Structures are given as C-alpha cells and as structure tokens.
Amino acid sequence: MFRKILIANRGEIAVRIMRSCREMGIDTVMVYSTADSNALHVQLASEAYCIGGPLPKDSYLNMQAILTVALETGCEAIHPGYGLLSENADFANMVEEVGLKFIGPCGATIDALGDKANARRLMIEADVPVPPGSDGILPNAEVAIELAEKAGYPVLIKAAAGGGGRGMRRIDNAEQMIAMFNEATLEAQNAFGDGSLYLEKLIENPKHIEFQILADQQGNVIHLGDRDCSWQRRRQKVIEETPCTRLSDQLRNEMGEAAIRAIKAVEYEGAGTVEFVLDKNNKFYFIEVNTRIQVEHPITEMVTGIDIVREQIRIASGASLPITQSEMQIRGHAIECRINAEKPSDNFRPSPGKIKNYIMPGGRSVRIDSAIYPGYEISPYYDSMIAKIIVHGNNRSHAIRRMRRCLEELIIDGVDTNAGLLYVSLFEQSMIRGTYDTSTLESSLDDLLEYETIFHLPDSAELNPEEDNELVLPEER
Amino acid sequence: MKDSFDLRREQLEKMNKLTRLRAPAKKKEIPADLFTACPQCGNYLSNRIWYDNLYVCPNCNKHLRIGVKNRLRIIMDDGYEFIDQPSEFRNPIEFPGYQEKWQKAYENTDADEAIVFVKGTIEAELVIVGVMDTNFLMGSLGSIVGDRIIKALGRAQEEQLPLIIFTASGGARMQEAIISLMQMRYVSEAVGRFQRAGGLYISVMTDPTTGGVTASFASLGNIILTEPGTLIAFAGPRVIRDTIRQELPEGFQTAEHLVEHGFVDRIIERKNLKESLGKLLRLHNSKQNKVEYKEEDYQKDKFLPIQTNQEESAQESQELTAFQRVKKARDPHRICPRQVLEFLCQDIFELKGDRLYADDPTICGGLATLGGLPITFVHTKKGRDLDSQMKLNFGMPHPEGYRKARRLMQEAEDFGRPILTIIDTPGAYPGLGSENRGMGEALAQNLRFMSSLRTPTIALITGEAGSGGAIALACSDKLFMLENAVYTILSPEGFATILWKDVSKVEEAAANMRLTAQDMFELNVCDQVFPDDLSGLKQAIANTFNQLIEEKKENVK
C-alpha cells in the first residue's frame, strides 16, 4: 500500500480523496494555485504546495510542476480526481515514466477510449450495442449522407478526438449535412488538432444511464450498478440518482454485462464509468467510457457501501477487488444534487463571491461533499460547483423527501445558487415519477424558473433599508 | 444569519402553498382539560399535575380556586354525604333574567347552589362541612345559601357536631338585593346561637372571600383559617378603585395582610389543611378532663438549658444577691417561655390576631395538649439575638397582644379549657402607638377578665415579670415562678431613679424592693418556686390543674 499520495486536483474532490487517504493511513500532498491559497483542500492539508497562477494551465494542468512536487515530497502515486488531468493520457504516461503510480488506467487505455471513433469500433467488436452510424472516420459529406439515410435522421456528427459537445452537430436532413460538415470539421480541427468526424444516429430524448465499474490489475471486473444522470442542462448533470426506475432487473443485468464487456475490451484498471443512452423503447446504446472517478460517484457509494476512492487506491497498489459481482448488493435509493454558485434566472450566470455564512443540512443518511466554508471566496477561475448533497433513502420517494428536506435546511449566504431550482425540480411531475429524460429539465426550465423566483434573495436595498436612509439623510438637509 | 433563517421561512411558506397536495392538517384544539397556566407565574402545567398538586402551583405556590368537588376530595375522608335539600330556584324580588342565569350556573357547576353542606369525617372526626363554589354565581350569598347555612348550623347544634365552612364568595347576591343583605343578619344570628350553645365553628376563608360574606359568617369563626394568597376583603379592590379612587398597596387584602392585621388565626397551606383541621377538631372534641402525663413523660422531667454554667453549684445559687438574680432573669440565653411550653405540652397549634387591629408577635397563644388535656396557652416572647429581639420589641407587648390573649382566653372559657400562661417580659411597651391604642384599657380589661374566669388558670414566670404588662397575664388561680425569675412593680433601674434620682443605686434598689421568687413566695404572691431546670414542674402543673378542675366542678355544683 502507498504511504504518500499527491492529489492533483482542487475543491471538493481533492478533499474527498484526502478523506479516504486519511482513513487509510496514507499521507497526502496537495497542490494549489495562487488563487486557491485559502481553499479548503489547502487548509485541511498537512502538506500543500503552490504550483502556479490562477489559470488552470498555469497550475492544475502544469504537469511538470505537479510531478516535481510529487517527486520532491516522496509521493508514490498521484490521484488525478476528475476533470483537469484525470483523462490526460500524456500525464498518465509521464507519471509512470518518472516511476510513480497513476491512479487510474494507463495512458494507452485512456487514449483508446478517448478516441470516440476508435472506442465505437472497439465496442462493436466487443458486442456492446452502439447507435447506428459510421464504423470509423467519415471521409466526406457524401458518405455521411449515405450512412445517415441508412440509420435514419436525425443524426449527430461528432469530433473523433473530442468531447464536451465541441465539433458536434445535429443533422436532420441531407441539405444540413452538406452545410454543416465542413464547419464541424474546422471546429474539431481548431479544438482538438484533429478534424476527423464520425456519425451516429441521434437517440432523441433518451435517458442517460451509466454504470460504475471497478477493474483490478488481476483482470477482475465488476459493476456497482447504474446511475440515472438524465436531469441535465446543456449536457451538464444537475441531479443524479441510483438505481434508475426505468430499468428492470433483467435490463440492468444486460446493461451491466455490456458495461463489463466494454471495459474488458481494453486493458483497464481502476474505477471507470460506461455511459449509455436508453431510448423510448428501452433499447440502450453505448456512448463512452469515463476513465476516472466521477462527480456523482457518492450515490453509488451510498447504495453499495463501497468507498470507490478507497478501491481506486487499493487497485492501483495491486490489491484485488473486495467483492465479486454476485456479492454486490444495491440497498435503497440515493440521490445527489449539485449546488452551483450561479444564477439560474440570469441564464445561469456564474456567481463568484464570498460565502458570508452557510448552514449545511445534516441528519440521518445525508452526506455533504463540499469545499466551502464561511468566509471562503469562490474563485471565478474554476468550476462553479460548490457542494454536493447526497441522500440515501429506503426507497425512491423516501430519498426525494429527504433531499427536499435537506434543501429546505440549506442556506448559503453571499452568492446566488441553484438550490432553489433544485428544490422546485424535486416537485416536477416527471421527477416525482422518475420518467424524465435528458430533455426534461431544459423543456420545463421556464416553468421551474418561475417557481424558482420564490427563492430569490431580496435586493440588498431591501435587506438594509436603514443603511439606505442614512445615505439619503444628508441630501435632505 | 437570523435574517437568512427568516427569509428561508418565508420562502418555504410560499412554496408550501404550491406544493401541499394534501389538505393542511386540521388544527386540533388543545383539550381544555389538558393544560392550565398558573394565573400568577404563567407556569404551564398539565391538569393531571394540578390535580395531584391539589391545584397549588409547584413553582410559585399560588393556590388556585377550586370547586366543591376538589375541595371535598382534599378535605374529607371518604364516605361523606350531602345533607342539603335539593335547591329550587327562587326569585324573591322578581329580578329579570335571574332565572336564566341561575339555571345556567345550576347546569354548569358541580354544585346546585353557591354553598353545599356535607356530613362526614376529617381524620376520623365527625363534622359538618360547607363548601362555597365561586363557579356558581360567584359564590354569592342568596337566600338559598342563607337557608342552607342556618339549617346546617341547626343540625350541627342538634347533633353536637362542629361545623366548618369554606368561604369563597364575591359577596351578596345582587339579583336578590335587600333579601341578600338580610341573609347577612340571619346567618350571623344563627352562628351566634350555635356558638352560645357551645358549638365549634371554624371558618376557612378561601380565595376570594369578600363583601357580605366577609361581613357575616366568614369573620365569625371561633377559629378563622385561610390559604396563602387568598383575597379577603369587605370592599374588593375593584370597588375601592371605582368608588373612592384610591390606589391600593401591593399585598393589600391578601391573607398575609389580614394575619398581620389580626383578623385571621392562621394561613395554612392547602396540603396541610386537612391535617390542621383534624388537629383542631381533636383538640375540641377531646373527652379527657384531667391532665394525665404518662410514665415516659415524667422520664424527661428535667430541662437541660442551652448554656450551663458548671462552676455554679446549687449552693452558690442560694447565695446570689437580688440584683444578680435580676441579671440572670434577663439573660437572653436563659430558658424561655416557648421552651417551657414545649417541655410541658404537645400538639401546639398557634392562633393569631386580636380581631381588632393587629397580631402582636410578642404575645403568642393557641391550643395545645397538656398530658393529653386540651388547654389554651399564652406566652410572651423576647428573642435571643438582636434581630429577633427587634422583631419582638425586646419582649414588650403592645395592647393588641393583650387583646389577643383575652380573645383566646375567652375561647378557652367558652370551651371549658384550662389556661396556662408563661411570662417573661420587662413590661408592656411604653410608646406612642401603645398609648393611642389604649394600653391602660387593655391591661385593665385583662385584669378583670382573667380574675373572673371560671376555667382553671396557672401562670408561670420564667424570667422577668415587669409591672402591669406581666400582671395582665398573671391573674391566675395559681402563680408559679422559677427560682431565678423576678416579679417587679417596675425595673430596679426605674425604681432607683424615681425614689433616689440615682440610677447607680440599682443594686440597692433590687435588694430592697423585694423581687425574687423567694420574696414572692414569702409575700404570698407566688404559690410555688421551681428550679431553673424545671424539675418537679410537670408534676406540680398536672396536680394543680387536676385539683383546680375538681374544685371548680364542685363549685358549679
């Protein structure tokens, strides 16, 4: 087992990883940017080193600096968290090259799965269902139209090297294909240095279902059940839950087995997530593999009792999986809400600023993963997610009620948050029934925002009428 | 942060209106019989606790008003019976609307009129008890109430039973106007008849006792008891405020105020009320007619004083000069009358007040048993330390003290109880208030009164017995003194000043004015002298009282 690990991340996930390390008796080293010297992951650390300026490329993406700190402080492994360098094959390779352990799959695996067109091909070979579309790179628009007609419009053209929606276009007919193809190629070229595109049938308004995977170095692979992450806005997950109500036990087993096949298609180790879409007819299609810990991993921890970060570290140190697939059990239902410092009614404008005060909910089966504290200044340089509330319940409605209760208790003073929107979302009909899909939040957003106004903070003038009067008085004289 | 909580509360209230799918829970009334707040301190208690605590607030000791049912539960032994005729509405002056009001009270109260009488036992002593209920037209004195009291008194007289009335009333019943006023006269007359026939009537004033009830039977008890905090008044505070617009001091017209002013014998906590009444009834109902000390009583025949001067032998004490004896008599650590009383008596129940002006704490009196025989005692008090001495006016009584003594001795005469007075006083208080209230008259009355008593009386002088203030308690059949007690026309200091105009001649005065117990015995003022350790006193008191009782019996024949 490792004695010392560098955590190459910030915010709540850095704190989350540190917590497991401490429980395992592993020393940790934190790194931070000049903008983060007051951040919680630095304040709680026994050892922390500033590695550069506020912009991520100067600090958290500064591989050389991170590796230097890791080597100088005697670390044996690096945990990349999520985002930042977590799916960077170059970094994974460099870590291995300097003789440290990268906690996650090797660079080659990250690369193989990161190339979406390549991944699509691998999955077809492994008998994992993929959306109808191209077998590989599209040579030109004409082939694309041919394939699109075969699969049926609408289709998506996507950048092979990309992700996050850039270089991606929805195409509804041949004319659009001609019009968009070159534009998308150019965008992919600019964004990723590679203009290759591939084509997939667009599965309209599906559910986003993903499977948590653990794979050890001995070749054992298990899944820890599904997560329904369909409550999204602009492909950003907002509320996640497990297990998904739409899945029958049989379908869940089928998808779980497909997920395991997908992972076994490459040489994989550590935690990973296989993402699927589930269409109206309960047919599922592979989307991608995330080769890292995920934001929403706590809900799986809540229902399985397994500490995924702990397992990541154990696996990286060579230990084998603690349980077999048949021993894995799902208990009850868990939901996560992501609290973002943003103003939903103002087109979700980020709302950086100082946390004056807060009250975090608590009580039975409630988990808060956060890195804010009263007096903490939310930096504009980084992600706006400031807290995750995770609840567990005996069943789904129990969990929903518990989450509502938590949001009723939650108070964050000083910045705008989406907590009000989250709260009203938990009263939305398809949320209550569990029938929502990836389009639901966006299509019902106007209604929800109307109710969300209830949770708007009054203007500062309303809050401090006396102060206003003081300002007016001298003029009156 | 407080603002944030408030804001959140508002937000959730708005949200609740939108999301509450179920009808809001029906507000349940707190059952009326579940909680009651204390009207004095606001302490909120379940009615079960009030019930168990006899409706006395455990926090502030407020004694709540209680109805007939609870009063009888607290006071009576099980198995009492109601003795009144069923009430039938009367409207003596044809007052409009009276019937409806009466009917409503009749239906909504435990009682069928503002007073009900029962016959039963209190601590096994058979008695007739009346209880007024303020829930019934404010416990007002209507003609049915008057009739019931008169009937109950008649029955008590017939069956030779004591009578107790718990008063609780706003006063006269307005709806019966002058007929109600007449009830004051009728019931007072009936009380008088009952008392002259030797009946014991105990009045227990409970909250509130006012108006025509205070001004009639409530104030006529042989013994008047009350509960803490009871409002007792003739003109209630509202009436005073509305008629003469005088602001009233705090605590005015409370039980405590009335005790201080001499109109009530004792304030008894509700929880002790039954026991106290039982004791009083036993004291009055005793069939014993002589002092019967038991063997074990005589085993404690000597009193061990608080301080013993061991160097001083009995021999030496024989040789003390008169003035040395004066000093001994004045020693604040000397055996005091109260100690002698407790040495001789049991079941001591103090009664207070002269029913005229005040209660003088310097003269203390009441009931007790002496070798099982109920007696009335009166004794003076001096106090041992400066605090108590100041409270007790250094043992010098005011006229109200003598008038209290006379009142209690009158009761003793009426009930045929022997009287024991125990005296240690430098004299009656010479002062402005004393003179204004007629000290001379008070002393004179006592001298005549005591001298003509038919009941046996013994007086015992334990220390100083100064002048008129002492003799007004010492006109007894027999006078006993302790060996170091002194009995004087006035203090040796005053004697020297008046006769020789020289206070330094006090020792000479003491020697010549003849004031020691031995002198008194020789001058035939005193009948017997006892050592300061009281040895032989019990026996002598018992024998003397028994002898006096026999003699008086023969005289009557």
B8 to chain A, any CB pair closer than 8 A? The answer is: yes
pLDDT at B506: 85
**Do B275 and B322 share a domain, yes or no?**
no
Tell me: ipTM over 0.90: no
Residues from chain A contacting residue B20 (CB–CB below 8 Å): none
CA dist., res. A347 & res. B532, Å (int)? 105
pLDDT bracket for residue A460 (50, 70, 90): very low
Residue labelled with tokens 């001995």: A218
pLDDT at B326: 86
B6 to chain A, any CB pair closer than 8 A? The answer is: no
**Do B34 and B70 share a domain, yes or no?**
no
A457 to chain B, any CB pair closer than 8 A? The answer is: yes
**Do B343 and B274 share a domain, yes or no?**
no
Total count of domains within chain B: 3
**Do B188 and B222 share a domain, yes or no?**
yes
Inspect the interface and report whether the beta carbons of A454 and B14 lie closer than 8 Å: yes
Report pLDDT digits (tens) over B464-510. Answer: 988 888 999 999 999 999 988 999 988 888 888 888 888 888 888 88
**Do B101 and B149 share a domain, yes or no?**
yes
B4 to chain A, any CB pair closer than 8 A? The answer is: yes
- B515: containing domain: 295-300+318-556
pLDDT at A458: 61
Taking each helix axis from N to C terminus, what angle separates B537-556 and B337-344, rounded to the nearest 10 degrees?
A: 70
Among A58, A60, A65, CA closest to A80: A60
Residue B307 lies in a domain: no
A447 to chain B, any CB pair closer than 8 A? The answer is: no
Tokens of A273: 């997530």
**Interface test mutation site (partner B, options A417, A426, A449, A455, max chain B beta carbons within 10 A):** A455
pLDDT at A469: 37
CA dist., res. B238 & res. B247, Å (int)? 10
Task: Compute the nearest-CA separation of A455 from chain B (Å).
Answer: 6
For chain A, domains (ranges, CATH) are: 4-103 (3.40.50.20), 132-201 (3.30.1490.20), 207-455 (3.30.470.20)
Give the residues across from A241 on adjacent strands: A228, A335
The A residues from 307 to 346 touching B (CB cutoff 8 Å) are: none
**Do B263 and B200 share a domain, yes or no?**
yes
Average pLDDT, chain A: 88
CA dist., res. A187 & res. A180, Å (int)? 11
Coil, strand, or helix at residue A100?
coil
**Do B513 and B398 share a domain, yes or no?**
yes
Q: Which amino acid is at A282?
A: N
B18 to chain A, any CB pair closer than 8 A? The answer is: yes
Residues from chain A contacting residue B3 (CB–CB below 8 Å): 463
Rounded to the nearest 5°, which phi and psi values hold at A64? Answer: -60, -45
Tokens of B314: 């009995």
Residues from chain A contacting residue B14 (CB–CB below 8 Å): 454
pLDDT at A103 over 70: yes
pLDDT at A223 over 90: yes
A451 to chain B, any CB pair closer than 8 A? The answer is: yes
CA dist., res. B520 & res. B361, Å (int)? 29
**Do B244 and B337 share a domain, yes or no?**
no
A432 to chain B, any CB pair closer than 8 A? The answer is: no
Residue labelled with tokens 């053209």: A157
Which of the residues A292, A310, A314, A338 is marked catalytic? A292
CA dist., res. A174 & res. A153, Å (int)? 9
For the question of residue A292 being annotated catalytic, the response is: yes
Task: Compute the nearest-CA separation of B28 from chain A (Å).
Answer: 25
**Do B507 and B413 share a domain, yes or no?**
yes
A–B interface: beta-carbon pairs under 8 A: 27
Report pLDDT digits (tens) over A198-209. Answer: 888 888 899 999
Mean pLDDT along residues A284-288: 92
pLDDT beneath 70, residues of chain B: 1, 20-25, 29-33, 304-318, 556-557
CA dist., res. A365 & res. A385, Å (int)? 22
pLDDT at A134: 82
User: Under a CB-based contact definition with an 8 Å cutoff, are residues B466 and B426 in contact?
Assistant: yes
CATH number where B450 lies = 3.90.226.10
pLDDT at A472 over 50: no
**Do B254 and B327 share a domain, yes or no?**
no
pLDDT at A396 over 60: yes
Task: Compute the nearest-CA separation of B11 from chain A (Å).
Answer: 6
Report pLDDT digits (tens) over A344-364. Answer: 988 899 988 899 888 999 999
CB-based contacts of B29, cutoff 8 Å, min separation 6: none
The B residues from 33 to 72 touching A (CB cutoff 8 Å) are: none
Inspect the interface and report whether the beta carbons of A427 and B19 lie closer than 8 Å: yes
Inspect the interface and report whether the beta carbons of B14 and A427 lie closer than 8 Å: no
Option in A427, A454, A463 nearest B11 (CB): A454
B14 to chain A, any CB pair closer than 8 A? The answer is: yes
Residues from chain B contacting residue A359 (CB–CB below 8 Å): 1, 4
Residue B290 lies in a domain: no
**Do B419 and B507 share a domain, yes or no?**
yes
Task: Compute the nearest-CA separation of A237 from chain B (Å).
Answer: 25
Task: Compute the nearest-CA separation of B27 from chain A (Å).
Answer: 23
Report pLDDT digits (tens) over A170-210. Answer: 888 888 888 888 888 888 888 777 888 888 888 889 999 99
Report pLDDT digits (tens) over B308-326. Answer: 554 455 555 667 888 888 8
Residue B396 lies in a domain: yes
